[in-house]
Structure 1
Amino acid sequence: MNTTWESDEAPDPIKIGFVGWLLILLRGSALILLITVCLILLLFLRLIEIPFFGMKRPITPFIVQFVCRNAFRILGMEHRISGQLMTERGAVVANHTSWLDIFSLNARKRVYFVSKAEVAGWPGIGILAKATGTVFIERNPKKAKEQTEVFEARLKAGHKLLFFPEGTSTDGLRVLPFKTTLFEAFFSDHLRDFMHVQPVSVIYHAPKGQPARFYGWWGEMEFGEHLLKTLAARKQGSVELIYHTPVAVRDFPNRKALAAHCERAVREAHDAGQSEA
């Protein structure tokens, strides 16, 4: 999670006309209102959840799901899903295109993201990540045991943890090789026997007339600029999520074999979806 993917081609120029700025005002205001009201409600309910349920969150994940589903309605962006959601305890792994993945993957399945520790300090985003139960990890081998214990506690509490094994977002036109480091935690003595992993392919289809990589966020792109570009689109595209068959960790000899299986499942469906666009 330490390398930002770079394209051989420069990002497409951002052009926002009068209509675009009007859409930014309308959609942005609606999103801010939605997120603010629901965040206040979520934080209030957490005060009730913590003393009665501890690490478990029986109520607040539904608020996160509500926000994410309605965010797509506000954007006017279609959200399509196929495949069955995993019922076993375990983790979800998916390819990573942009910040939109957070909304895309939370809209249907109640998950808790695993993110680099730096995100906790980002203005605005860090607060939202903390409030929604994101697990923050450090790129420090000395912290490996401690972080595995955190994963174990969250998984045993019934949380579905979501990883982006590519370690970075892309232009959405490809799936990068999966890094295997985080998969090692799944093979601990306390997790391996019950842990399952479900691969998910996330496929973005650009608005008509826009470059195929319209929703991609990579390299040195600023979050603010990418957000404005997305809000300003007169006609939005769509996002498609394909949930693959979950696999048991105990059926694989090591992290590399498990990572290779998940990468293959995600890439094959992603490439097929891109070719049909």
Structure 2
Amino acid sequence: MSGTWHRDEPPEPLRLSPLGWLRALGRGLVLAVLVFGCLALLLMVRLVERPLCGLHRPVTPFITQFVCRNAFRIMGIGFSTRGELMHTRGAVVANHSSWLDIFALNARKRIYFVSKAEVAGWPGIGWLARATGTVFIERDRKRAREHTDLFTTRLLAGHKLLFFPEGTSTDGRRVLPFKTTLFAAFFAPGLRAQMAIQPVTVIYHAPPGARADFYGWWGDMDFGPHLLKVLGAARQGSVEILYHPPVRVADFADRKALAAHVERVIRESHREALAP
């Protein structure tokens, strides 16, 4: 994990017409009913699922998928995917542009995010993250062994953990250099021989006439105004998810080689997708 990414050009300020505010209110209410209504359902199901299945979650991930797929319908944002899902044991690695990544990456594939520990305390988002099985880690090298043990337990239980190696979100127009620290966990003796990594590229296309970074969420941008901007937009753009062929961890000499390969795949596909 790393610090927040900034750039010289400031983000677009919130500007909504009276109709835009009404649109944001209407979409927001429907989205809130969907998210928190299904959260209540998920927690009730988890009361039965946890004692019967332990780490395994045979039912609740489908509730999460239902929420994420329909969230895009409510917001009016186009959603599409290309490529095949990985069915073997392993993890998913993706670029990070926005809070919308949570919906986009959960919409088709049942995954569990790896997130910085601070997120657990965020109102609303933290509750959702904990309920959906997010793995929280602290920015402390002294706890690296503890994190590796946690990843090993979850991965061997069949969970597809999702990492953002950039360590921060961007404006959606670039891919930052990948941090290699978390890749070390895949080379643990109990994981290396049986783990695969699937690179995934997340691409945002702005609404017609809007700035290219419309969906990006970075720097010191507050969540509330950005959410209102997205909900109040008269015309929406789209998000596209590219699933690349998985690679075997055992085929790489070390974490740096693995991280470099995954970064190259995601960076090149991202650049090609946004090229004029």
TM-score, shorter chain, exceeding 0.5: yes
Residues 67-216 of structure 1 mapped to structure 2, 5 A cutoff: 67-216=67-216
Distance 2:156 2:130 in 1: 20
- Partner SS state of residue 80, structure 1: strand
- Partner SS state of residue 245, structure 2: coil
Unaligned runs of 5+ in 1: none
Per the TM alignment, residue 239 of structure 1 is displaced from its structure 2 partner at its CA by 0.2
Alpha-carbon deviations, 1:213-234, whole Å to 9, x = none?
Answer: 0000011100111111111111
Distance 1:273 1:159 in 2: 29
Per the TM alignment, residue 124 of structure 1 is displaced from its structure 2 partner at its CA by 1.0
Deviates most, 261-270 or 7-16: 7-16
Q: What is the one-letter code of the residue matched to 1:159? A: H
Alpha-carbon deviations, 1:135-172, whole Å to 9, x = none?
Answer: 00011111111111110111111100000000000000
- Are 1:247 and 2:241 counterparts? no
Q: What is the one-letter code of the residue matched to 1:31? A: L
- Partner SS state of residue 136, structure 1: strand
TM-score, scaled relative to structure 1: 0.99
Residues 35-74 of structure 1 mapped to structure 2, 5 A cutoff: 35-74=35-74
Distance 1:171 1:140 in 2: 27
Q: Which runs of 4+ in 1 moved over 3 A?
A: none
Q: What is the one-letter code of the residue matched to 1:108? A: R
Per the TM alignment, residue 2 of structure 1 is displaced from its structure 2 partner at its CA by 2.8
Q: Report the counterpart of residue 6 of structure 2 in structure 1.
A: 6
Residues 217-228 of structure 1 mapped to structure 2, 5 A cutoff: 217-228=217-228
Distance 2:190 2:273 in 1: 37
- Partner SS state of residue 203, structure 2: strand
Distance 1:47 1:21 in 2: 38
Distance 1:33 1:101 in 2: 20
Distance 1:53 1:259 in 2: 33
- Partner SS state of residue 275, structure 2: helix
**Aligned Cα root-mean-square deviation (Å):** 0.6
Per the TM alignment, residue 36 of structure 1 is displaced from its structure 2 partner at its CA by 1.4
TM-score, scaled relative to structure 2: 0.99
- Partner SS state of residue 139, structure 1: coil
Distance 2:23 2:205 in 1: 20
- Using the aligned pairs only, state the percent identity: 65
Alignment size in residue pairs: 276
Alpha-carbon deviations, 1:75-120, whole Å to 9, x = none?
Answer: 1111010000001111000000000000000000000000000000
Q: What is the one-letter code of the residue matched to 1:234? A: A
Q: What is the one-letter code of the residue matched to 2:274? A: Q
Distance 1:91 1:192 in 2: 12
- Are 1:263 and 2:256 counterparts? no
Per the TM alignment, residue 7 of structure 1 is displaced from its structure 2 partner at its CA by 1.0
Distance 1:7 1:213 in 2: 12
Q: Report the counterpart of residue 21 of structure 1 in structure 2.
A: 21
Distance 2:227 2:37 in 1: 20
Distance 1:19 1:182 in 2: 45
- Partner SS state of residue 147, structure 1: helix
Q: What is the one-letter code of the residue matched to 1:161? A: L
Per the TM alignment, residue 49 of structure 1 is displaced from its structure 2 partner at its CA by 0.7
